[in-house]
Structure 1
């Protein structure tokens, strides 16, 4: 069994939800795709985040920052 070395390594909790602490995944690698495909990926990213949140996970990155990051990474 692995023991937690410090409090900083412990999973964070927010009203009972585990918080995913970094902006993940990155969509920057898809920047060169045609615009139509980048919009499809944008929709998929939002749907994926929603699915994680419905399972009880929370993102440390707020929704506005998430949308801003994704649109910048996909150059939309």
Structure 2
């Protein structure tokens, strides 16, 4: 029987990569905001992640999981 791959462990093996593995920012406090503002916060969250990745940081949370989490937290 084979074990499933450990995504975080594979990322740590990348030479010279700085891994960000939490705690992650939460956006649930913005659920009560109007929808337009919640979409703006969502775009800012994506831009912040993109900025860190462009600077060489690696997130242990896959991008699709990040999108699911943030859209759920913002009720989008």
Please tell me the TM-score bracket, short chain as reference: 0.7 to 0.9
Provide structure 1 residue ranges, at least 5 long, that are not aligned to the other structure. 1-11
CA RMSD of aligned residues (A): 1.4
What corresponds to 2:60 in structure 1? 60
Gaps of 5+ in 2: 1-11
How many residues in Structure 1 have an aligned counterpart in Structure 2? Answer: 65
Q: Is the 8 A contact 1:27 1:70 kept in 2?
A: yes
TM-score by length of 2: 0.79
Task: Please list, as runs of the form range in 1=range in 2, the aligned pairs for 1:38-53 lying within 5 A after superposition.
Answer: 38-53=38-53
SS of residue paired to 2:75: coil
Q: Within 1, Cα distance between the matches of 2:38 and 2:29? A: 11
Distance 1:44 1:25 in 2: 12
Runs (4+) of structure 1 moved beyond 6 Å? none
TM-score by length of 1: 0.79
